[in-house]
Structure 1
């Protein structure tokens, strides 16, 4: 029995609702029977759609004995709620549609000119499952002029899958930006040049997945675009007295979040796919961010507050990078991040000191207190508040950033005389429990903690941290440390107790 494949997406509220309140796409699949192999591909398509939150209706599961298959097809094509019809094409389908034979022929009549005239030109989209002998897409005449998605091989299906899913959700990769109101502090109408950061990250991802030799070229190209964007937002002219500079800091930081997210995407990607050739690039990136958050060389007169947005951005990027490395379980690179020496920027080195530790990436300032604090209240940390406001990722929640801050604190305790106060812990729930340290109760996960810290056994690690706790009063932050139970938050007594 011959069927035609159609895929439709419901755009109204009748679709299922996702956790974030948005409507989940619902698709109908009817296909051209061509043996067991075709059925297995359709089953695989349904499973893959389901994995991406897309509900499918398909004859294999939804057309029962006694149902009228032609009424079923016509109802799906003419239903007013259908926003897209995707015709899955191969040679068999194309030939029979052109010849008006069997089920395909019936379907091609259902999709009549009258139906086309009622919908937008983007409603019917071919999905190509087979190429002809000249390597051209097998499509019937009535679909020849339409843009298609190529699923003719597993590689091409994987390459086009994200584009396909975005189409179903109505969230394409590239969306023409809407013009907003010009911020008062800008002297020109143009928005900031993003230097193609997103496109260059996609090129790097493609190179990584295809195992290209010159990955470093694509990586450098992406990182350079990020550095150019960050540099374009640096303050090089002293603000005027009339300017609301605190608001400018907040606005600049929001723009820098664009670069933060792309750098984190890069970190997650390389930590997962390129663990052996990543550490040096990441350390260089952190050094470069330190440089970009310091005084530009051409400025001879300045106030440290001029660089507030960039210092906060670099501090936040560090915590996000730590959280990303922990998420990917790339503990060797995370160890390098905490134990390496970073070259200080030329404009910030002092007393002939050229290198610093990770703690130099820390930043604290109350400059935004009046802007961010609720009326009549004072924030414990404006930096933590700024990060909480801009925590807009689904894969790394603000709780992951708090945990990264605690991990940084652990390294501060291990490292004599390092200074790091975990500002985000003010937002930790009570009692504070952190998955990485809770899981360290299991032996296999405690071994990850040892790999992260570089210690050989629990006794040495515990002694080092406990010695650090006894020295807190000499760390320069006073009573704030004493008010936090680090031993409990780190779950020290629970480590390696489950074999």
Structure 2
């Protein structure tokens, strides 16, 4: 019959020196405590009968495969005898030391420190000085160290290596793409979690590196390959960095209430927008679609940032991103100001791809954005909500239109989005109103009634349903 965990009783031989009666009592106490923990302690007092050969007993205990562990209880006298190869301890040392240096048997032995010298140094035999020991010499730490001893005997360490995860997807998808942001991301998150004074600076540094290194995604057209395929491959290769950005942002928004956060992110989006256009100092021919992968990345990061901020109720961040215009360098080198809708540039190559593949999908951009939200902290519903809020804001304020790519899935939403469900509270709506660009709930209701449907065709959603129209501001 197989042995269960409950049946298992490890055998442990205890090697020690008969230093004094007090020490013998101390050793006996250790053996009794082990016995109470279901350990079969083998001790000469219990297991060596009068007239038996003590040397043979020691050899048998050390070499018997049924004896799983050997404890060496080292006090001052034991160490002296071991080093001088004196008496029974010396004989045991001659038996044990070769086994300790054997690769196969080294794990069978452990030294237990019983006492220390006048300088607080543990008594250790010469042959054991470089090895890890268990320390029962300090009464204050006795219980902790005894637990360590039991864990060693039972091969049940307190810390166990976790299961190996999957190879990171970016290594499988495109090992050539590396934006070099991982170190800066870790530094920013660690600084935020520990509340370090330089936390905001570390976050700014991460965003700056990400913005500069996006240049590595720039596409060179390949002869004989459809350009829309190159755009999709580039967007796919960005996925691990999109996830990293989202994780950094989540930590930052959770651990810092700094009102500068919105301004910092606003500046970041001003930086990365420039990838959407021909560089103003670029000389040579180009096509407007050359920057389509950047336009996808820019839209996704802007939408995700607002999705996360709405989810975490960082409405201050959303307000800054939508209220303040963006200072952008256009192709001829002039600078001008644009509203946030500029972050949702048209991606012509995806229209071409849809025609080329004869796809029946309503919007390929929506498919890509929402598929990447599967299994993410920012869910599909979070992205749909943010797209709807940005669309409402642009329409209510008459700013540059934010075309919501994901509106084609609005028909699948059968309840109010969270921020509008919460806006049944007048207090919450007062915080949401500046984001929408309205002064009161009546302005919103008039617009929603006129709007009717959100989206087009059979997949359109009911704007009244999505805004929780009838419940808006009905309670304090």
TM-score, with structure 1 as normaliser: 0.60
Matched-pair contact (CA < 8 Å) for 1:384–1:423:
yes
* Match 2:164 to one of 153, 165, 170: 170
1:154-233 matched pairs, under 5 angstroms: 167-171=161-165, 191-195=176-180, 197-233=181-217
- Tell me, in whole angstroms, the C-alpha distance in 1 between the residues paired with 2:271 and 2:256: 21
- Tell me, in whole angstroms, the C-alpha distance in 1 between the residues paired with 2:459 and 2:356: 26
Report the RMSD for the aligned CA atoms in angstroms. 4.6
- Tell me, in whole angstroms, the C-alpha distance in 1 between the residues paired with 2:190 and 2:347: 40
| Gap runs ≥5 in structure 1 | 1-67, 75-94, 122-132, 147-151, 153-163, 184-189
* Match 1:441 to one of 424, 444, 455: 424
* Match 1:419 to one of 398, 401, 410: 401
After superposition, the Cα gap between the structure-2 partners of 1:491 and 1:413, relative to the gap in structure 1 and judged at 3 Å, is: farther
Instruction: Give, in angstroms, the shift of residue 362 of structure 1.
Output: 0.9
- Tell me, in whole angstroms, the C-alpha distance in 1 between the residues paired with 2:449 and 2:400: 13
1:303-322 matched pairs, under 5 angstroms: 303-322=287-306
After superposition, the Cα gap between the structure-2 partners of 1:179 and 1:391, relative to the gap in structure 1 and judged at 3 Å, is: closer
Matched-pair contact (CA < 8 Å) for 2:208–2:268:
no
After superposition, the Cα gap between the structure-2 partners of 1:399 and 1:177, relative to the gap in structure 1 and judged at 3 Å, is: closer
Deviation sequence 1:4-49 (CA, Å, 0-9, x none): xxxxxxxxxxxxxxxxxxxxxxxxxxxxxxxxxxxxxxxxxxxxxx
- 1:290 maps to which residue? 273
- Tell me, in whole angstroms, the C-alpha distance in 2 between the residues paired with 1:166 and 1:299: 58
Instruction: Give, in angstroms, the shift of residue 405 of structure 1.
Output: 0.4
Deviation sequence 1:277-310 (CA, Å, 0-9, x none): 3111110111112112322333531111111111
Which structure: larger Rg? 2
Instruction: Give, in angstroms, the shift of residue 210 of structure 1.
Output: 2.4
Instruction: Give, in angstroms, the shift of residue 106 of structure 1.
Output: 3.5
After superposition, the Cα gap between the structure-2 partners of 1:177 and 1:497, relative to the gap in structure 1 and judged at 3 Å, is: closer
Matched-pair contact (CA < 8 Å) for 1:421–1:481:
no
* Matching of residue 280 in structure 1 with residue 280 in structure 2: no
- 2:52 maps to which residue? none
- Tell me, in whole angstroms, the C-alpha distance in 2 between the residues paired with 1:170 and 1:111: 30
244-253 vs 414-423, greater mean Cα deviation: 414-423
* Match 2:384 to one of 402, 407, 410: 402
- 1:490 maps to which residue? 467
1:373-388 matched pairs, under 5 angstroms: 376-388=358-370
Give the count of matched residue pairs.
360
SS of the aligned residue for 1:260 comes to: helix
- Tell me, in whole angstroms, the C-alpha distance in 2 between the residues paired with 1:337 and 1:70: 61
- 2:33 maps to which residue? 102
- Tell me, in whole angstroms, the C-alpha distance in 2 between the residues paired with 1:227 and 1:486: 36
| Gap runs ≥5 in structure 2 | 11-25, 42-66, 71-98, 108-118, 123-127, 135-143, 145-157
Pick the structure with more helix per residue.
Answer: 2
TM-score, with structure 2 as normaliser: 0.62
After superposition, the Cα gap between the structure-2 partners of 1:73 and 1:359, relative to the gap in structure 1 and judged at 3 Å, is: farther
SS of the aligned residue for 1:344 comes to: strand
After superposition, the Cα gap between the structure-2 partners of 1:268 and 1:430, relative to the gap in structure 1 and judged at 3 Å, is: closer
Deviation sequence 1:224-256 (CA, Å, 0-9, x none): 331233111113x4x244133222111100122
SS of the aligned residue for 2:286 comes to: coil
Instruction: Give, in angstroms, the shift of residue 324 of structure 1.
Output: 0.6
SS of the aligned residue for 1:354 comes to: strand
- 2:228 maps to which residue? 246
After superposition, the Cα gap between the structure-2 partners of 1:484 and 1:382, relative to the gap in structure 1 and judged at 3 Å, is: same
Matched-pair contact (CA < 8 Å) for 1:294–1:345:
no
Deviation sequence 1:430-472 (CA, Å, 0-9, x none): 5354222223224454344235446553234445x459849x9
- Tell me, in whole angstroms, the C-alpha distance in 2 between the residues paired with 1:307 and 1:107: 73
- Tell me, in whole angstroms, the C-alpha distance in 1 between the residues paired with 2:270 and 2:360: 33
